[in-house]
Amino acid sequence: MSGGPEPRIPAGARMHDDLRRSVNRWQSLVIALGAVDEFTTEVVRLRAAQHHDCHT
């Protein structure tokens, strides 16, 4: 991706397998919960991503 911020984690860094899998699963499950409508969920997700300087 061009024009984005400089990555702070060097390329090739590997996350502990258990931590990567469990964090990804936790976040996927939370996003899929149905108590909050999809629009609100996405707005909150984008705001949280901005707060955490996350670009996914």
CB environment 13-33: b (16+ within 10 A), e (fewer): eeeeeeeeeeeeeeeeeeeee
4 binds other proteins per the rule CB under 8 A: no
x/- track of binding to other proteins for residues 25-54 (CB under 8 A): xx--xx--x----------------xxxx-
55 binds other proteins per the rule CB under 8 A: no
Comparison of 30 and 44: residue with beta carbon closer to other proteins: 30
User: Residues in the site for other proteins, rule: CB under 8 A?
Assistant: 8-10, 12-16, 18-23, 25-26, 29-30, 33, 50-53
